[in-house]
Amino acid sequence: MRDFLDLSQRHRWILAALVDEYIGRGEPVSSLWLAAKGRFGVSSATLRNSLASLEDAGYVRQPHASAGRIPTDRGYRCYVDDLLQTRRPVRRAPAVEARLREAGTVDDALSNVSHELWRASHHVGFAVGPAAEVAVLRQIEFVTLSASKVLVVLIAADGHVSRKVIDVGAQITAHELRQASGYLNTEFAGLSLDTIRTSVVGRLQEERTLYDRLMTRALRLASTTLAELVPENVLFIQGASSLLEELARTEERISVDTLRALFKMIEEKHRLVRLLNAYIDGPGLTVVIGSEHTSPDLQNFSLVASTYAAGAHSGSVGIIGPTRMRYSRAIAAVDAMAAALSRALGAAEANRGMAD
């Protein structure tokens, strides 16, 4: 909880009613409305004084003279922190969890999650998978593109496929590439990429490998591949176009430049992943509101995210939308999807273990 101890319980109730109404209608909330609908048992004059106190403390503001008040980012933060303090335990979503269990790969499950979060919120839904660094190798293949250029296809145990074109600096035949992939698959299948990288470097430093041309060529290919295969988190996003429709429907005043910056960040997925990783430094739920964002491109938006974990798989799922989002709905959806994904991936990993 942040330092909101200066607020009395009545002020918190008034702020919560104001935020709820503003999120629902998108119009400034007056003391007259609060007196009629808020059931506070005090006059509109008393409520007017309370709103003035909330404005002085930075929780609400008047968009123009003689208008009611709307919440500031500080007001949203107090409202959200109270929601987090009183939220109910995560409810299971059996139908969603069943679909995730039936997904063919981790990537399929993550894509499904981003879609479900978009459907639940009508904002941008996202799911971030584990970095390639922690992926476990199932198979590696080399395909000749030219005399010295090779396409490397790396298939992880969870089904994720990475492709990288490398220049080996010398002519290499398709037969040599098949021999190299066969050797590497025999030696390293079932190990993480980080473990393989360390092992390859160690073997190349052993003088005896120089006497085995096949082994040396395979290890050098693996070394070049892993050096150039920069670990990246897989990111799935759904609902960018729906966010535009939602902003238009709710008449949110967000500039074209701000929207352009957000969509550019979504297109350059690595930037968004880095930002999300910077925000999420531990397990559980994270909510970042408006001006709390370190990136100016996101300061008209809010982020609700949660981590998931199941064995070697860990990452985050969440929603990006305008600061005037239905936080209670977004928090419940993200909480439920993170829990469902953890259970589904855990079950899939247990089944693979039994099959092995």
Beta strand segments in the chain, E: 60-61, 70-71, 124-131, 137-144, 149-156, 161-167, 233-238, 285-289, 301-310, 313-322
Tell me the pLDDT tens digit for each residue of 284-338. 899 999 999 988 888 889 999 999 987 666 789 999 988 999 999 999 999 999 9
Predicted local confidence at residue 190, as pLDDT: 87
Exposed e or buried b per residue across 268-295, where buried means at least 16 C-beta atoms within 10 angstroms of its C-beta:
ebeebbebbeebbeeeebbbbbbebbee
Amino acid making up residue 6: D
Looking at 3.40.50.920, 3.90.420.10, 1.10.630.10, 1.10.10.10, the CATH number of the domain 9-86 comes to 1.10.10.10
Does 133 have pLDDT greater than 70?
A: no
Q: Which residues contact 41 (CB under 8 A, 6 or more apart)?
A: none
Exposed e or buried b per residue across 226-241, where buried means at least 16 C-beta atoms within 10 angstroms of its C-beta:
beebeeebbbbbbbbe
Burial class (CB in 10 A: 0-12, 13-18, 19+), 126: buried
Domain edges within the chain: 9-86, 94-131+233-355, 134-228
From 72, 81, 56, 64, select the one nearest 18 (Cα to Cα).
Answer: 72
**Identical topology for domains 9-86 and 94-131+233-355:** no
Looking at 3.30.390.60, 3.30.460.10, 1.20.1250.20, 3.40.366.10, the CATH number of the domain 134-228 comes to 3.30.390.60
Tell me the pLDDT tens digit for each residue of 248-259. 665 566 667 777
CATH architecture of 94-131+233-355: 2-Layer Sandwich (3.30)
Cα–Cα distance for residue pair 303/321, rounded to 1 Å? 7
User: DSSP 3-state assignment of 7?
Assistant: coil
Q: Is the pTM higher than 0.75?
A: no
Predicted local confidence at residue 253, as pLDDT: 63
What is the mean predicted confidence (pLDDT) over 81-94?
A: 85
Predicted local confidence at residue 131, as pLDDT: 62
Predicted local confidence at residue 250, as pLDDT: 56
The residue ranking higher by pLDDT, 168 or 335, is: 335
From 20, 313, 26, 349, select the one nearest 34 (Cα to Cα).
Answer: 20
| Mean pLDDT for the chain overall | 83
User: DSSP 3-state assignment of 82?
Assistant: helix
